[in-house]
Amino acid sequence: MKRRIKAILATSALLMISGCALPGLSGSTTNTLRIGTLGTSESEILGEVLSIMIERETDLDTELITHLGSSVVQHQAMMTDDLDITSTRYTGTDMAGALGMEPVKDPDEALNIVQRDFQSEFDQTWAETYGFENSYSLAVTEEFAEEEGITTISDLEEHAGDMSFGVDNAWVNRVGDGYDGFVETYFEFGDVFPMNIGLVYQANASGHMDAVLAYSSDGRIQEFDLRVLEDDRQFFPPYDASPVVQNEVLEEHPEIAEITKKLENTITTEKMQELNYQADVDLLNPEQVAREFLEEHNYFEEGDE
């Protein structure tokens, strides 16, 4: 049986300072696994995928704790044993956050580091990647890219001084992989406009912005016919996505490791864009998107539901 709880927190600091458990999470039974998700379609879809598989392949129930405010909140909830699994953790995010270190640029090395350190420091297993990353990236309209022969970020350099650049408010002042670091690695844009991430895609498609900072697996890239440019100088850290599971859970229920193994490298970035599009643009319920994804992969043909 699946239950859903929305745990919407205004700030991660509230949880961390108070040391309190997340609201609504007390009293979970040992037969129920609590799966935490961020407040994004991507995270909720993958939480639903895990939930469906766990309930189908084990005698366990699941409880989805959705709309967690950030990876920091997810991590704190895992550390206080208020969650058993988090559906989506990203290598670059948790290297800088939970591990407090500079992200590395090589994806395989980054994955090895978080897997090693989450085991030794937090007694948690960082599973293999789903196969996609949700990384910072630059995007322009497909029309502009075709006209100017643009495929990489470096290709924009001759145009950048005359271009407007729409960026996520949270990114522009980031240390290391924010705009200042970008300028050191690549070039400077003529004008930079910080804005809500939800506005940047439409601003680019409508011509109000010439280029935007995007998230590589966002479904709105498809919706607005944008082209994600290759980060040819490897400025942005890798943000490969994986579930993270408490080791205690794996000791009690080793079949969970088999479930996460089945999901290894099954979702490309393009496929995650498509799944996000279905939820964010077609407005399908994340559970429906998850179930249809599993059906597409013949998951339910392995036996009766």
Q: What's the pLDDT tens digit per position in 180-229?
A: 999 999 999 999 999 987 789 989 999 999 999 999 999 999 899 999 99
What's the pLDDT at 172? 85
What pLDDT digit, counting tens, does each position of 13-65 carry?
A: 334 434 455 554 544 457 999 999 998 999 999 999 999 999 999 999 999 99
Q: What is the DSSP string of 199-261?
A: HHHHHHHTTS-SEEEEETT-THHHHTTEEEPB-TT--SPP-BEEEEEEHHHHHH-THHHHHHH
pLDDT band at 1 (very low <50, low <70, confident <90, very high): confident
Whose tokens are 């967690």? That residue is 68
What whole-number distance in Å separates Cα of residue 131 and Cα of residue 77?
25
Examine the domain organization and report whether 8 and 127 are in the same domain.
yes
Claim to verify: residue 184 and residue 129 sit in the same structural domain: no
- Checking if the pLDDT of 280 tops 80, the result is yes
DSSP state of 156: G
Whether residue 233 is contained in a domain is answered as no
140 and 114, same structural domain?
Answer: no
Name which of 258, 244, 240, 251 is nearest 118 in CA terms: 244
**What total of structural domains would you count in the chain?**
2
How far is residue 179 CA from its own chain's centroid? 21
Same domain, 219 and 297: no
78, 86 Cβ separation under 8 angstroms = yes
Length of the chain: 305
Asked whether residue 183 falls in the same domain as residue 120, the answer is no
Model pTM score: 0.86
pLDDT band at 7 (very low <50, low <70, confident <90, very high): low
Q: Are 114 and 92 in contact (CB under 8 A)?
A: no
Q: Which domain holds residue 57?
A: 2-133+239-302
User: Average of pLDDT values for 66-89?
Assistant: 95
Looking at residue 257, its pLDDT comes to: 97
Q: Give the C-alpha separation, 54 to 191, whole Å.
A: 49
E-strand ranges in 11-60 read 32-38
pLDDT tens, position by position, 115-147: 999 999 999 999 999 999 999 999 999 999 999
* HEC profile of 75-95: HHHHHCCCCCEEEEEEHHHHH
CATH number at residue 91: 3.40.190.10
| Residue-level pLDDT at 213 | 95
